[in-house]
Amino acid sequence: MNLNRKPSCEDVLDAFAVEPQADHETLERYLRTYPDYADDLIDLSRELNRRLVEDDTSLSSEDSEVIDAAWKRHALSGSSVQSDPFARLSAEDMRNLAHLLEVPRQVIAAFRERRVIVSSVPRGFLNRLADAIRASIKDFQTFGSLPVTEPTFARSYKAHAKPIRTEPVTFEQLLCDAGVTKERRIALMMDVD
Amino acid sequence: MKTMKVGAAHVDSGLAGKVGVTITLLQKVKPGGELYKRDERIEALLVSLAGLSREQLIQRSEIRQRTDPLYVPSECLLYLVRATRASSNEHWFERLYRLLIERVLRSLPKAENPDGKSFSLSREAVRDEVIGRFVELLATDRQMYVEKLDYFEIRFDGALASLRIDVQRKAYREENRLRPLEHDVESDGFVTNEVPGLADESSSLFQFTDNSYQLRLDAAIDGLPLQQRRIIHMIQQGFSIDSKDPDVMTIARALGRSEKTIRTHRDKALATLRLAMSGGGHR
């Protein structure tokens, strides 16, 4: 939850759901802090205090169909991941990624457009990037060997930084081109995890 | 990101291969700024599970009785599905994934009513929606870390209950766009007088600890109107209906209703529960 905005009901319920104790004191604390969500907090408190019932019955044919459909959906979701770990990342995802890794957005865009020499990227940074977009280092190595792509529409905004090279460059050069300060560049290049 | 290396991180297609995963920290941040953590017992179990062969892991994941010492908690199962996503094209991963979805299915209230003959359309819709959202979270997580799934690694049942309440809330709001609001005795100016002694007498409803009795009581409470259900739960949690002390959190304050309205709803609820439980031989 972000302290600077009012958390959504979903955020509050999730936080409440993982509290170590779902007892009177916890419920009271949440009711005081989030009185607008009182009804849902009480409903959830009841669920959290419900006695567990072991389900020993065999699966119905409907249940099996649900599981089949879930697996098909999951298998489909990975079809583009192997070739492009950046597939399906929205512009907002890219922004969040840049924020998370504390680099300018054009650095992330350069990775997506395969304009970075993967072997020049410090292992620690690559690990963090891979973790954030749910890819493996191997995915990156495969992906990085593919040809450079054209910049996408997401980067067609007016930039204050100077134009970015189109041929693959080293990570350090990319940071220089993106206007990253010397101190930050050193820190990133030392990120060998 | 800090990681803890466990086992060999190699991947092969056979069931004999080790699970071999790297145990990473969760990424969800608490309101205070610190990272959420898994339960220590879950982390310790993950370390030992990483040393199993995939076949052993699947066999253990098939155990459904939570009291079985070899039971794999759903928190661990989810972690392993997330951590081995790179093996999604392999048969053993598919078996693991299917077991996880089966766990979710078994944790959700069934659409069938206890009579075994009829079923609740709204319960079926909520069940379908919860499963659908969980499947989407997992699918998205293959490509972009989904912090919401971290909650499921901390307390799976709780996070699933939270997802269900969220779905129910939205479904309820949708349903009530076309329906008048729940009957409120106060807004109608109709307030039933409190029945003297009923609350004290019926509070014995909550004294029995026998498991089958409690399950029947839970089912009876489930059958109450929403507002009555909330009042009964708060009573069970030890909240007072009202208090002269403005600093005390009471049922009336939490629900934004007058003391009299709460008492009326409570009495109706207790009368219903007493009737429902009267055939159980405990009274």
The domain locations on chain B are 3-162, 193-277
| pLDDT the model gives residue B184 | 45
State the CB neighbour count (10 A cutoff) for residue B235: 21
| pLDDT the model gives residue B168 | 86
**A76 to chain B: which residues are within 8 Å by CB?**
139
Would the pLDDT of B183 be above 60?
Answer: no
| pLDDT the model gives residue A145 | 58
CA-nearest residue to B213 within chain A is A51
The mean-pLDDT minimum among A133-142, A175-184, B125-134 falls in: A133-142
* Mean pLDDT for the stretch of residues B177-198: 47
**A127 to chain B: which residues are within 8 Å by CB?**
1, 3
Which of B89, B165, B236 is facing A44, going by the closest CB pair? Answer: B165
Task: Measure B258 CA to nearest chain A CA, in Å.
Answer: 15
| pLDDT the model gives residue A167 | 73
Which of B31, B106, B162 is facing A44, going by the closest CB pair? Answer: B162
| CATH T-level fold of B193-277 | Arc Repressor Mutant, subunit A (1.10.10)
Buried/exposed B134-170: b ≥16 CB within 10 Å, e otherwise: bbeebbbbbbbbbebbbbbbbbbbbbbbbbbbbbbbe
| pLDDT the model gives residue A2 | 45
Distance CA B95, CA B77 (A): 11
Tell if the CB–CB gap between B215 and A44 is shorter than 8 Å.
no
Tell me which residues of chain A, numbers 87 to 146, contact chain B at a CB-CB cutoff of 8 Å. 87-89, 93, 127-128, 131-136, 138-139
Task: Measure A110 CA to nearest chain B CA, in Å.
Answer: 18
Q: How confident is the model at residue A27 (pLDDT cuts 50, 70, 90)?
A: very high
Which of B142, B169, B229 is facing A134, going by the closest CB pair? Answer: B142
State the CB neighbour count (10 A cutoff) for residue A87: 13
Distance CA B49, CA B264 (A): 53
| pLDDT the model gives residue B192 | 44
* Residue (of B37, B13, B10) closest to B26 by Cα position: B37
Interface test with B, best of A6, A18, A39, A193 (most B CBs within 10 A): A18
B47-67 pLDDT per residue, tens: 999 889 989 999 999 999 999
Q: How confident is the model at residue B175 (pLDDT cuts 50, 70, 90)?
A: low
Tell if the CB–CB gap between A85 and B143 is shorter than 8 Å.
yes
- pTM recorded for the entire structure: 0.69
Q: How confident is the model at residue B9 (pLDDT cuts 50, 70, 90)?
A: very low
Tell if the CB–CB gap between A14 and B148 is shorter than 8 Å.
yes
Task: Measure B178 CA to nearest chain A CA, in Å.
Answer: 21
A76-134 pLDDT per residue, tens: 886 554 556 776 677 778 888 888 888 998 898 888 877 888 888 888 888 888 877 77
| pLDDT the model gives residue B98 | 96
Between A179 and B179, the more confident residue is A179
- The answer to whether the beta carbons of residues B54 and B90 sit under 8 Å apart is no
Q: Which residue has the tokens 């979710």?
A: B104
Q: How confident is the model at residue B188 (pLDDT cuts 50, 70, 90)?
A: very low
| pLDDT the model gives residue B273 | 92
At B3, give phi and psi (nearest 5°): -135, 160
Boundaries of every domain in chain A: 9-49, 84-189
| pLDDT the model gives residue A53 | 75
Query: Is A15 in CB contact (< 8 Å) with chain B?
Result: yes
| pLDDT the model gives residue B187 | 41
Distance CA A111, CA A105 (A): 10
Q: Which residue has the tokens 């020499």?
A: A117
Between A170 and B204, the more confident residue is A170
Query: Is A52 in CB contact (< 8 Å) with chain B?
Result: yes
Q: How confident is the model at residue B8 (pLDDT cuts 50, 70, 90)?
A: very low
A63-92 pLDDT per residue, tens: 999 999 999 999 888 655 455 677 667 777
